[in-house]
Structure 1
Amino acid sequence: MSGGLLTLGLKEDANTRLCTETERQALLDVKANLIDFHHLLDDWGSQEEMDCCKWVGVSCNNHTGHVTELDLGHVVEVNHFITFGYSFRGKISPSLQVLNQLQHLNLNYVDFQYNPLPEFWAFMSNLQRLHISGANLSGPIPYQLANLSTLLHLDLSHNYLMGSIPFFFGDFTSLTYLDLSGNQLRGVIPNSFGNFSSLAHLDLSQNLINGSLPNFARCSSLINMSVAHNYLNGRMPNFTRCTLLKNIDLSNNFLSGNVPKSVGELSNLEFLDVGHNFLNESMPNFIGCPSLWFLDMSSNELSGNVPKSLGQVSKLRLLDFSSNFLKGVISEVHFLNLTHLDYLDLSFNSLELNLSFHGKFPSQLSTINLQSCKLGPRFPMWIKTQKFFIHLDISNASISDDIPTWFWGLSSRLKFINLSSNDLKGMLPDMGYLMQFFDGYPGMDLSNNRLEGRVPFLPALAALNLSGNKFSGTLSFLCKIDGCLTFLDLSNNSFSGSLPDCWLNFQGNLVVLRLSNNNLSGPIPSSLGFLSNLESLYLRTNSFFGEVPKSLNNCTRLKFVDLSENKLSGVIPEWIGENLSKLYVLVLGSNNFKGMLPSQICWLSNLQVLDVSYNGLSGNIPRCFDNFTAMGRRSIGDNMTKHLYYSSVPNDVPSLQCLGLSLLDIDHDDKLDAHCGGQLQEAYYLDNTWVTWKGTERSFERSGLQLLKTIDLSRNNLSGNIPHEITSLFELVSLNLSMNKLHGEVSEDVGWLKSLESLDLSRNEFSGQIPWSLAQLNFLSYLDLSFNNLSGRIPTGSQLQRFNYTSYIGNLQLCGPPLTPQCGFPPILEKKYVEEDEDDFWESYYTSMGAGFSVGFLGLSGALIFNRSCRYFFFASLSHMKDWIYVTVVVHLGRLERKFRR
């Protein structure tokens, strides 16, 4: 608010100035400490305007001339610069303390460059409103703020403030507004917060606060309270005396127990969000909340039935009970008077919807989420009354029926529809005529049903999933789909023919392309190289032939490539390693690739899965595998496996390059829009892959794929040794080099692969002994060393003897359990490889050795007495044997003694 608004009634001549010179100079110092990007403060100190009370953002007392308000945040908002970045940057001037009559200080959205809050607040004892939100402040909240006993409003939200919640807020008996949200504050909320009898607005959301919530029994003035997105635990507090409460947000914490009965009796309550906690009792009754319009109890552990009285809460607009353990039947009674209901989500419960509605549903819903509820077996007829829905998800709803023709013409506002994982039958109608009336580019998921026939004309879509059906015919329809398509999954169908060469239409938009498990053939078209935003490419299990098109080196955002089980030929291109640096999965197995595995593959430092099995590769394994650094460290997060795409796109946004939008400072209406998806709907796709795991083919997805780190070079013509560099991949869980022509000894360093669970070196030409370090791999649960030239004794220990003998067969010079009962004379062992589990072997060995030694010694002693040459031979041999006898007996004698005592 500018000074002119407060001084209009003052009688003064043109030469009269209100502000004092001291405060004028203080304001000029405030300006001097700021960079004014948009010249908003140009009138400060100008020759035309010497009176600081008339400067923009400054207000003064009409009688004393002292500055009472400094509002730079309002200056920014009025000029709309907050949308495009900061208008001011710098630091908080210490001259502010000169303005000791200041009552209102607003420095919202001034970039203070991660500097801490100053400590001079003791000199500003008249301050009533302090707003420094979104200002890049850091450090602790200074304790000097406790001196501001007259403070009414305090907003330090959306900064980087840290430390514990300060106890001194108990001194703010007059405080009515407190917002510390969006910081990094820790510790517990002091019990004194529950005694703020004047507090009307409390927001501590989006911090790191733990402990339990205080009792708010004395907060009789409280209207808005949010502690969402923290680490709070314990039970919900009792709000019996908080009769003015309108908005409660406790979501995304660790609260347990029930929702207190008192919450259902708050007659002014409008907004309640307790979603994403661990509330685990029955659903409360909200009949005493006639003003309630927003009710979110999703992602908890609530059980029991949904009370029928819910149908009396007539102002409800949003109802979300998803992801709980609710059960029972939902009938018309539950929606009897919900004439304003707009958003309905009952998904992921054990609910059965029995809605006949002879007339029509009481309201027009924009969002209908009923995933995993029982709606079938017939297609739900009550949906016919819905003409304006934006989002519809009735997947996995036990529907076994045809999709009625009326369904496709219901809503022109459609953004996303999901009918997947039902038992829907029949053919799709030609929707080209209907889709021309849609207000944008919707997403459609009809996967995992029994739909069949050719795919009709589908001109305007943002996402399409038809996988797991019986569709047939060619893919020529793709060339008629509008270029806004960001996600396409046609896998696990019966499509045939060649891949159309019209991918230029989708350049810059398509993120995920899945065509696996069809009957497609022909070469991979070079126009796929136009998909510059492509991150996942699945062409597995088709009959594509020819070379991998070089144009794919333009798809530099690719993270996941699976071209396996085709008829591709030529060499594995070097440009894969040179250009596709983001790859974390590369599967080229079961093709006809020849030549050497290029060393450029090692440039893929993010690679976690490499499968080039079942090809005709030759030459040595590259010695640069230690460059696969992602296989040598633990994965954090799932950023590699997750792909962001848009399940709906507005009609006026033709390219993803225009979709860099975000919502700031959403209010309650905006939160409803966010639930309903708004105009844009983002979605995430998580990769999955098939790999040969412990001898069988298995699918990995989500978190399993994130942890999977595997190399499969099996069934090729590779030769040479196993490169020592492989042993540096400490997080490798599966290594398959079987059915090649590899030779040499298996390095003792294989024991460095401590995470290894599966190792297959079978059907090669390896020689020498099995490394003793293999017995130290605690996670190893699959081992195949069969059909090599290995020799010697199988190392004893807790691991290797529990594998079946088939893990070792085909090595003619290999012996010991589990292949043979025993071996010959045991070798000298290093102590680190001696295990307690060897006792059974040594017990029988020493017993037989003792008996044999006694008999042999009696026979030998006679010869020693009568034959000089025998005496010489015996003592010479004994000299060479004494070291081995001593070492062996000392190491095992103690164990043998303990064994006999049992």
Structure 2
Amino acid sequence: MATNSIQFQLVLLFLCIHPWSQLLSNAACTRKDRKALLGFKAEIDDLAGILSSWTGSDCCKWLGVGCDKKTGHVTRLNLRRPDPLGKTLQGNLSSSLLGLRHLRYLDLSLNSFGGISIPSFIGEFKELRYLNLSKSGFVGRVPDELGNLSRLQYLDLQSQSFPVGLYMIDALWISRLTSLWYIDMSGVNLSNCFNLLQALNMLPTVETIHLSLSQMNTIPQSLPHTNFRYLSFLDLSLNDFDSTEIPGFLFSIRSLKHLDLRDSGFRGIVSDAISNLSSLEFLDLSGISMAKIPRSLGSLCNLTILNLENALPSNGLSELGQVLDGCAKDSLQELRLAMNGFSDHIPDWIGDFKNLRILDLYQNNFYGSIPEAIGRLSSLEILGLSRNQLNETVSENIGQLSRLITLDLTFNTLNTTLTEAHFANLKSLKHLDLYNSSLRLNLSSDWFPPFQVEYFYTRGCQFGPKFPSWLRNQRKIQYLDMSGSGITDAMPDWFWNITSHMTELYMSDNQISGKMPKSFSFADNEPVHIDLSYNRLEGALPQLPPNVEGLYLSTNSLSGPIPPTFGNEISNLTYFSISSNNFYGSIPSSLCKLQKLKALDLSKNQFSGEILDCWDKFPDMEYLDLASNSLSGNFPKSISLLGSLKLLDLSNNSLFGPLPDSVECVSVNTLDLSQNNFTGKIPSWISESLPMLRILSLRSNSFIGDIPSNISNLQNLHILDLSSNNFSGSISKNFGNLSSMKVAPAEQSYAYFDDFSWDGLIMKMWVMTKGRYLEYGKLLSLLAVMDFSENNLLGQIPEEITDLHGLQSLNLSGNHFTGNITDKFGDLRLLETLDLSKNELEGKVPASLSGLNFLSHLNLSYNHLQGRIPSGGQMNTFDDSVYAGNDGLCGLPLKVKCDADNGSKVPPTEVGDNGDGHINGMLWYFLGGAPGLVIGFWTVWGALLLNSRWRHAYFTYVDKLCEKFGIRSKYRF
């Protein structure tokens, strides 16, 4: 018996210490719990695939399910979306979950239960300790039944969809959660919940409270008894408290370590009682707009992070230095003073914070130099001085900050030169941002930097003309931007050896020469963007890394065809521009595989053949520019299916035939089909299916028929060019209704000007203005142009066009317009170009034109205009070519005088001895009058000299005539 007992005890001991004992002691999940989980799964749309593992009999092995190892009861259900950017769970929460009677942990966060309320039955999970329903799309009122969870310790109801999301009216139920130590109700609409803080004050063990962005507008100024004995973290930021003073009870919570009042609506006074928060480590008062800085702030000896962005008076810089001259000066590690409007030099006392790791002075008005005091911040890791007015030197002491990781001097006017001394001991530097700082870098070719930089952002700084050879030793660069740096050197071969870690390379707007490599080598773990545009690089299109997302090689000297396999291995390519090069051949069909393309620019090359007709495979295409090639064929029908398209430019090709009968491109705002040979009438979809259209150019085609009056329904249209076609008929007076031409583009209330660029691609277009074609880029958004020239239009120019007060260029030349030029053209005060030449207009030149102060190009030639040309203002700056071919005009700048009485042209015979009339009169005199005078003289006087009887009778008559008028003749014959 004893032997058997000993053997049994040994077996038990073996089982306890053997790994298999773990398996024997783990019970499988109960049948009831498995049934509850399957009931839940039945009503869930599992887009994330989380529930795909929910098969088999043992639910304890299912993904996201945790069980008690002894009883097999499900105690834990974690269905939080694993990837914040991935797919989610959707559907309804089934009450079958109530079968999980032992559930202690429930996490459904980051899913998409949109349109349903938080089920009240959750309040029946009596064992629940942890509940996280944050950012899951729940809407409606937070159920009071959650107050039944008496053992709950952690509650996260963070909402991200107010005002449609969650809301609360009465918070009394929270006071029953006596075990709660963590609560997050950020984003929950609490605007009508007036007892929340009172309820929270009744929780004996609460440590963390998040109430950010909750639309709270009232807060008690005091509490009868402050019960927050363990509260260490309080976030009331981004609310709407309408109070001139921060409530005093907050300063009596001595356990507080983290207090965030950022942009909470408080303003005016911060009490000196803040010194009571002796444990405070984090204080954010940004956006408070304090009238006065509390003197006791500097006595917070544990304070490590202080954020006073947009909180201090602009003249409070020196006062702040005095306030912080206490023990806080030794404890502070992070000091943020951005956006306070300080207009001063950077003070020397800033160098006294010996433990400071982060100093942010972003967007103030600091001027002068970056002082030596900065060099005393020996612990500094991040220095932010961007968007100030620093305009002098940079102290070389900055080069002694051996722990400095990030240096940001962007958007200043530091017209100075950085040398090796400024970087001498920056051995920790990883982020260097000098964008638009007006700095020059004078670094010798044999300099060896002490750092290995990862982000090198120096766009606009001057390196040139030589390529910076010291970059050769930088092997960890991930982001390099040296655009517009004045480099005119050749690209060294070694450069392509340091790109293996790069995900961003921007070197545009230089004059870098040399040949492109055969292939690019970049980082393979993230999307890659490469911009080498506006240089002088030569060679063929390189082989690209498979993860390239953006490639910009426009305006170089690259040549050759696009390889036929180009689109086979770069399926993530989203932005592709090789504009203004010498590429030739057909556009390869492999491009049809680039189904993520949003922007494609192949313009200004020598591509030939027909345009691909696979555009229906590009659902996200927004920008398509194939202009200025030798492409032929009809308009591809699949282009008309691009529902996301915003810009389409097929101009200056050899396309022909009619346009399609319908399109689905409802988002198009720019349509340029100019300089082709399209035929037929303007299809109705241009005016009916493109409500967003802002630019329409059909110039230089073979369109016929009337100009549809309903084009005037395009209320966003501000550039309309239908010139050089075969349009006939008259212009509808409805064109005076174009809203975007009634006011100056810069004054329009809606902001769409950024739509003329797509992630580095800038829309460009040729526009006839000021008498010649000019190419515009982003300034297209500031133009208002109407051009109907060189057609067969007739009738009168509708007076309603003069209602377009934002119009800058109007060209109606080369048509058959008749009637007078209305005096209302003087209402077009922004007009710079007016061309009405080569028509059949009559009447006078309106005097109101002299009031157009911006008019720089005027052409009224070859009409039937009459009368005096008005003077004054810009009219005095035009030469006579403006009025050529109008025989009835007179006055300056013409050399034809006007009648003083009626202002009409003086006939040639009455012209005085000025101008062309004098020349013509003299010519007539010598060719006709002079010989006549000679003949007349000798006919009369020759007869009198030869015949004495005629001579005697003539002078007798003269004497009698003189006597009759009392004139005595002096001569006698």
Partners of 2:454 and 2:237 in 1: CA distance: 33
Inter-partner Cα distance in structure 2 for 1:280 and 1:71: 58
Unaligned runs of 5+ in 1: 1-34, 59-65, 647-682, 829-902
Change in Cα spacing, 1:315 to 1:55, as seen in structure 2 (3 Å) is closer
1:244 Cα deviation after fit = 2.2
Name the residue aligned to 2:437. Answer: 324
Rounded to whole Å, the distance in 2 between the matches of 1:122 and 1:388 is 57
Provide the rounded CA distance (Å) in 2 between the counterparts of 1:98 and 1:425.
72
Residue correspondence of structure 1 range 266-277 to structure 2 within 5 A: 266-277=377-388
User: Are residues 643 and 231 of structure 1, via their aligned partners in 2, closer, same or farther at CA, if it must alter by over 3 Å?
Assistant: farther
Number of residue-to-residue matches in the alignment: 723
Equivalent in the alignment of 1:738: 813
Provide the residue aligned with 1:589 in structure 2.
699
- Displacement of 1:217 in angstroms is 5.3
Check if 1:166 corresponds to 2:268. Answer: yes
Partner SS, residue 440 of structure 2: strand
Instruction: Report the alpha carbon displacement of residue 384 of structure 1 after superposing the two structures with TM.
Output: 0.9
Q: Distance in 2 between matches of 1:469 and 1:809?
A: 42
When residues 102 and 742 of structure 1 are mapped into structure 2, their CA distance, relative to the original with a 3 A threshold, is same
Query: Which one-letter code corresponds to 1:700 in the other structure?
Result: Y
In structure 2, the residue matched to 1:629 is: 739
What's 2:938 paired with?
Answer: none
Partner of 1:604: 714
CA gap of 1:105–1:802, structure 2 versus 1, over 3 A, is farther
**Relative to structure 1, is the Cα distance of residues 751 and 93 closer, same or farther in structure 2, using a 3 angstrom cutoff?**
same
Distance 1:248 1:216 in 2: 14
Partner of 1:315: 428
What is the CA distance between 1:742 and its match in structure 2? Answer: 0.9
Tell me if the contact between 2:840 and 2:863 (Cα under 8 Å) persists in the aligned partners. yes
Residue 871 of structure 2 corresponds to residue 796 of structure 1: yes
Bigger drift between 149-158 and 263-272 goes to: 149-158
Q: Does 1:116 align with 2:227?
A: no
Deviations 1:487-514 (A, max 9, x none): 11111111111101111221x2211111
CA distance in 2, matches of 1:643, 1:474: 30
Does residue 247 (structure 1) correspond to residue 358 (structure 2)? The answer is yes
Residues 760/355 of structure 1: CA separation in 2 closer, same or farther (3 Å cut): closer
> Which of 751, 767, 791 pairs up with 2:842?
767
Would you say 1:543 and 2:654 are equivalent positions? yes
Equivalent position to 1:389, from 502, 506, 511: 502
Higher-Rg member (1/2): 2
Q: 3-state DSSP class of the match of 1:381?
A: helix
Q: Mapping of 1:350-389 within 5 angstroms?
A: 350-352=462-464, 356=469, 361-373=473-485, 374=487, 376-389=489-502
For 1:29, the equivalent position in structure 2 comes to none
2:802 alignment partner, SS class: helix
Measured against aligned partners, the alpha-carbon deviations of 1:549-573 in whole angstroms (never above 9, x if no partner) come to: 234x211111111111111111111
Quote the Cα distance in structure 2 between the aligned partners of 1:279 and 1:36: 49
* 2:529 corresponds to 1:416: yes
Taking a change above 3 Å as real, the CA distance of residues 454 and 348 of structure 1, as seen in their structure-2 partners, is same
Structure 2 equivalent of residue 200 of structure 1: 304
Which position in structure 1 is the counterpart of 2:685? 575
Asked if the contact 1:791/1:813 (under 8 Å) is kept, the reply is yes
SS at match of 2:375: helix
Displacement of 1:471 in angstroms is 0.5
Three-state SS of the structure 1 residue aligned to 2:632 is: strand
Question: What residue number does 1:91 align with?
Answer: 192
Report the Cα offset of residue 154 of structure 1.
3.5
Answer whether contact 1:688 1:700 (CA < 8 A) is retained.
Answer: yes
> Residues 280 and 601 from structure 1, CA distance in 2 versus in 1: closer, same or farther, beyond 3 angstroms?
same
- Matches of 2:740 and 2:249, distance apart in 1: 53
Equivalent in the alignment of 1:399: 512
- The structure-2 alpha-carbon separation of the partners of 1:56 and 1:396, relative to structure 1 and needing over 3 Å to count, comes to closer
Corresponding residue of 2:121:
none
Say whether 1:143 aligns with 2:245. yes
Distance 1:144 1:252, change over 3 A: closer
**Which residue of the partner structure matches residue 458 of structure 1?**
566
SS across alignment from 2:418: coil
Q: Indicate how the Cα distance of structure 1 residues 55 and 269 shifts in structure 2: closer, same or farther if over 3 A, else same.
A: closer
Tell me how far apart the structure 1 counterparts of residues 548 and 491 of structure 2 sit (CA, whole Å). Answer: 29
SS of corresponding position for 1:586: strand
Is the 8 Å Cα contact of residues 448 and 470 (structure 2) preserved in structure 1? no
CA distance in 2, matches of 1:569, 1:743: 27
CA distance in 1, matches of 2:512, 2:602: 22
Q: CA deviation at 1:307?
A: 3.4
1:121-165, Cα deviation, whole Å (9 max, x unpaired): 475767776844465x33644325356543654323355x38xx5
Task: Note closer, same or farther for the CA distance 1:764–1:197 as it changes in structure 2 (3 Å cut).
Answer: farther
Distance 1:39 1:688, change over 3 A: same
Query: Which of residues 500, 505, 509 is equivalent to 2:620?
Result: 509
Which secondary structure state, in structure 1, belongs to the residue aligned with residue 427 of structure 2?
A: coil
3-state SS of the aligned residue for 1:244?
Answer: coil
Q: 1:448 aligns with which of 541, 552, 555?
A: 555
Q: Contact 2:307–2:336 (CA<8 Å) still a contact in 1? A: yes
Q: Which residue of 1 aligns with 2:604?
A: 492
Residue 620 (structure 1) aligns with: 730
- Pairwise CA distance, 1:789: 1.5
Q: Which amino acid aligns with 1:361?
A: N
In the TM superposition, residue 101 of structure 1 has moved relative to its aligned partner by 7.8
What secondary structure, in the 3-state scheme, does the structure 1 residue paired with 2:576 have? strand
Using the TM superposition, give the Cα deviation of residue 76 of structure 1 relative to its aligned residue in structure 2, in angstroms.
Answer: 3.5
Which amino acid counterpart does residue 773 of structure 1 have in structure 2? S
Which sections of structure 2, spanning at least 5 residues, go unmatched? 1-136, 158-173, 904-973
Q: 1:144 to 1:396 in 2, by over 3 A?
A: closer
1:207-218 matched pairs, under 5 angstroms? 213-214=317-318, 215-216=320-321, 218=323
Cα distance change of structure 1 residues 133 and 526 upon mapping to structure 2, 3 Å threshold: farther
Q: C-alpha separation between the residues in 2 aligned to 1:788 and 1:577? A: 33
2:5 is aligned to: none
Residue 331 of structure 1, CA deviation: 4.5
Could you tell me which of 666, 673, 679 is aligned with 1:563? 673
Residue number in structure 1 paired with 2:764: 688
Distance in 2 (CA, whole Å) between partners of 1:276 and 1:203 is 18
Q: Percent identity?
A: 31
Deviation at 1:684, TM superposition (A): 5.1
Give matches, 1:164-313, under 5 Å. 165-169=267-271, 172-174=274-276, 176=280, 177-181=282-286, 190=292, 192=294, 196-198=298-300, 199-205=303-309, 213-214=317-318, 215-216=320-321, 218-219=323-324, 220=329, 221-228=331-338, 231-238=341-348, 239-284=350-395, 285-309=397-421, 310-313=423-426
Q: Distance in 1 between matches of 2:560 and 2:598?
A: 24
CA-based RMSD: 3.6
Label 1:529 to 1:200 Cα distance change in 2 as closer, same or farther (>3 A).
same
SS at match of 1:267: coil
Provide, for residues 185-215 of structure 1, a one-character-per-residue CA deviation record: whole Å limited to 9, x for no partner: 66x7745579634253233447898567454
1:779 maps to which residue?
Answer: 854
Which residue of structure 1 lines up, in the alignment, with residue 791 of structure 2?
A: 716
Indicate the larger mover: 190-199 or 468-477.
190-199
Task: State the match for 1:534 in structure 2.
Answer: 645
Distance 2:816 2:313 in 1: 60
Q: 1:227 to 1:644 in 2, by over 3 A?
A: farther
- Supply the AA of the counterpart residue of 1:446: L
Separation (CA, whole Å) in 2 of partners of 1:785 and 1:768: 12
Looking at structure 2, the residues matched to 242 and 694 of structure 1 have their Cα atoms a distance apart, in angstroms, of 61
Contact 2:728 2:793 in 1 (8 A): yes
Q: Confirm or deny: 8 A CA contact 2:385 2:410 kept in the other structure.
A: yes
* Deviation readout 1:636-677 (Å, 9 max, x if unpaired): 58843424998xxxxxxxxxxxxxxxxxxxxxxxxxxxxxxx
Q: CA shift at 1:616, angstroms?
A: 0.8
Shift of 1:736: 0.8
User: Which residue does the alignment assign to 1:482?
Assistant: 594
Is the Cα contact below 8 Å between 2:447 and 2:470 reproduced in 1? no
Q: Classify 1:491/1:144 alpha carbon distance in 2 versus 1 (closer, same or farther; 3 Å).
A: closer
Contact in 2 for aligned 1:473/1:494 (Cα 8 Å)? yes
